[in-house]
Structure 1
């Protein structure tokens, strides 16, 4: 297991608390309690954080690295559902909040460092600190807003618009994620993604239906 110095660990928690404080002020008592109830964890690239059919027992606050969530179709094809990176909360949402077996796999695409919090400890902190409950609610709402935005885009936008929106929201993803995963995330095949990236994908005005 990778070891971190006290200075490295302090910097990670300071980064996380800075984000929390943008939502609601975090008291020194709450900060201390969160530090007592969490731990810094390290996953090497291509590690499986959550296996298919297992219950998601921990939420992870991303400090460094990149994680992909994906489903496996009946035909055995994996379908990318999302990418999570620095300053994102990394979980399988339904599995974590309902404590049921996950239909999703979580896999690291880079060496990844997170602050980990176990489900029951999270619930206890929510009960003890209304401010932390509010922070958790805000972070969860943001996740669901992103999911709805993506779902609408998959139904309403063409391949180029989907790709452009991905670049607008996450400009670094394309340089960090293999293209086959990006194509899967956008709901298109690799050939279509290649045409989009090369500028050969027809615009709506050019297309004939």
Structure 2
């Protein structure tokens, strides 16, 4: 499977947007100053809904700390989780933000979060004013397109046990960050199936430890 673009490992309690962008390519001082001046830093408590269907995504969020998800409600009224995002990640309703059309999904804060955000207009002004911004934008779009494609393939071709293992690999603390229902909805399985998978893994781990 195609490997996604590697981003720097963040050891600090909070990730920093300029550090992430500077890892991709050194930023000119005027661009750094504008990001510092124009980006909005906010904190949100868990259960906060940052976007609802019908609203237009005006901001792209960089998660300095915390955990979030995107989800939609299907025709049967069930929540279907499409993304989990944590520290050092971007959280965005892709179609709504880049087209400035109404969203079809929710963005929910799962753990108290601190975010840094830019508007659609600010982002496009960076593209116009700085060649580095265009390169960064292309690389980040590639990264999240690859993640989206990998996720779609994973959910359609792999056994539930493998999907769960991959989720834990990408988000090792997810069991503490959200509910079993949200995890099951992301994996496309029932809570009962998830419980069986977790019991099986726990039993295998216990057996390995006792050898």
TM range (shorter): 0.7 to 0.9
Residue 64 of structure 1: aligned partner: 65
| Unaligned runs of at least 5 residues, structure 1 | 1-10, 201-209
CA distance in 2, matches of 1:137, 1:13: 25
Give TM-score scaled by structure 1 length.
0.87
- 36-45 vs 47-56, which moves further: 36-45
- SS of the residue 1:160 aligns to: helix
| 1:108-127 pair list within 5 angstroms | 108-127=109-128
Shift of 1:13: 9.3
CA distance in 1, matches of 2:49, 2:73: 14
Q: Per-residue displacement from partner, 1:108-162 (whole Å, max 9, x unpaired)?
A: 0111111110111110111101101211221121111111111111111011010
CA distance in 1, matches of 2:68, 2:151: 18
Residue 8 of structure 1: aligned partner: none
Residue 205 of structure 1: aligned partner: none
Give TM-score scaled by structure 2 length.
0.86
- 104-113 vs 15-24, which moves further: 15-24
The 1:14–1:49 alpha-carbon spacing in structure 2 relative to 1, beyond 3 Å, is: closer
The 1:99–1:91 alpha-carbon spacing in structure 2 relative to 1, beyond 3 Å, is: same
Residue 138 of structure 2: aligned partner: 137
- SS of the residue 2:106 aligns to: strand
CA distance in 1, matches of 2:48, 2:176: 20
| 1:166-185 pair list within 5 angstroms | 166-185=167-186
Q: What is the Cα-based RMSD across aligned positions, in Å? A: 1.8
Shift of 1:165: 0.9
Correspondence 1:95 to 2:89: no
Residue 53 of structure 1: aligned partner: 54
| Unaligned runs of at least 5 residues, structure 2 | 1-11, 202-211
- SS of the residue 1:168 aligns to: helix
Moved beyond 6 Å, runs of 4+: 11-14
CA distance in 2, matches of 1:180, 1:134: 38
The 1:179–1:126 alpha-carbon spacing in structure 2 relative to 1, beyond 3 Å, is: same
Q: Per-residue displacement from partner, 1:39-85 (whole Å, max 9, x unpaired)?
A: 10111110110011111000011001111100111122111001111
- SS of the residue 2:135 aligns to: helix
